[in-house]
Structure 1
Amino acid sequence: MPQLELSDQEKETLAEVLTSILSELSTEISHTDRQGYRDQIKAQEHMIQSILGKLKQF
């Protein structure tokens, strides 16, 4: 499995960017009426939360 090595500063920046995106996705979810699109955004939200969890472990 490929691995990505990041410096502490890179990890922090990536976490900040992903957290910002999560905020935007939450807003998008609340403003969409199309269930299929909402499900797609929620899947992205869960993926980003998973990545953030992994970043915090290191």
Structure 2
Amino acid sequence: MADSYIDNGDGTYAIEKDITCRQSSVTKAGLQLEIDAITANIATLTARKAVLEADLAAINAL
């Protein structure tokens, strides 16, 4: 699986993931690892969102 990095032109990059795979290479354990990784990413992003919302609230209170 190859990732493509796309320059957004503003100093940031988008990552395009190639998730194409052969049917024979998909296993229950492999899918569970992907689910676990996504779940961890969601938890991280949710925590980061809470921090950013708190920062915004503090700025708005000024």
TM bucket, shorter chain: 0.3 to 0.5
Q: Which has the higher contact order (CA 8 A, sep 6+)?
A: 1
Greater helix fraction, Structure 1 or Structure 2: 1
Report the TM-score, using the length of structure 2 for normalisation. 0.44
